[in-house]
């Protein structure tokens, strides 16, 4: 039996190694590089602007009865920053992430257009 399995594995390996002339290889899709820095306001020492964004985060209501949970994978540096932000401001990490995603889609309506086009082309 193990001899048969080895021979099947060898057959598959050989078949994969053979170039398939029927398959047309398409070049990879090149996405335009998005420059986010021009959309984001530069860092400022102006206390009024700092308070404005903090008030916007605090005022953001993400408890609209929706019980969906996300479990994003964040790097250690981002987790540390969110923890420090929570300690400094008292704003929950989940609220900060929810606000950031909302802000992303609000500031970049082209993302919604991409989703709409994708759903139009979706067939069951």
Taking each helix axis as running N to C, give the angle between helix 76-89 and helix 93-107, from 0 to 180 degrees, rounded to the nearest 10.
Answer: 110
CB-CB contact of 87 with 81 (8 Å): no
CB-CB contact of 107 with 38 (8 Å): no
Q: Count of domains in the chain?
A: 1
pLDDT band at 63 (very low <50, low <70, confident <90, very high): confident
Could you please report the per-residue DSSP string of 67-119?
Answer: ---------HHHHHHHHHHHHHH---HHHHHHHHHHHHHHH-THHHHHHHHHH
pLDDT band at 120 (very low <50, low <70, confident <90, very high): confident
pLDDT in tens, 67-82: 777 888 999 999 999 9
pLDDT in tens, 11-38: 767 777 666 555 555 565 555 554 444 4
Structure tokens that stand for 23 in this block: 């398959």
Domain enclosing residue 87, as ranges: 2-120
Percent of the chain whose predicted confidence (pLDDT) is above 90:
27
Better-scored residue on pLDDT, 4 or 98? 98
């Amino acid at each position: 039996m193990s001899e048969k399995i080895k021979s099947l594995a060898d057959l598959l390996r050989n078949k994969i190694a053979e170039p398939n002339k029927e398959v047309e290889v398409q070049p990879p899709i090149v996405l335009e590089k998005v420059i986010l820095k021009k959309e984001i306001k530069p860092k400022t020492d102006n206390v009024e602007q700092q308070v404005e964004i903090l008030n916007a985060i605090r005022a953001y209501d993400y408890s609209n009865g929706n019980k969906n949970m996300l479990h994003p994978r964040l790097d250690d540096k981002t987790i540390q920053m969110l923890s420090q932000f929570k300690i400094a401001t008292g704003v929950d990490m989940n609220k900060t992430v929810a606000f950031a995603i909302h802000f992303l889609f609000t500031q970049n309506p082209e993302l919604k257009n991409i989703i709409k086009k994708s759903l139009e082309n979706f067939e069951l």
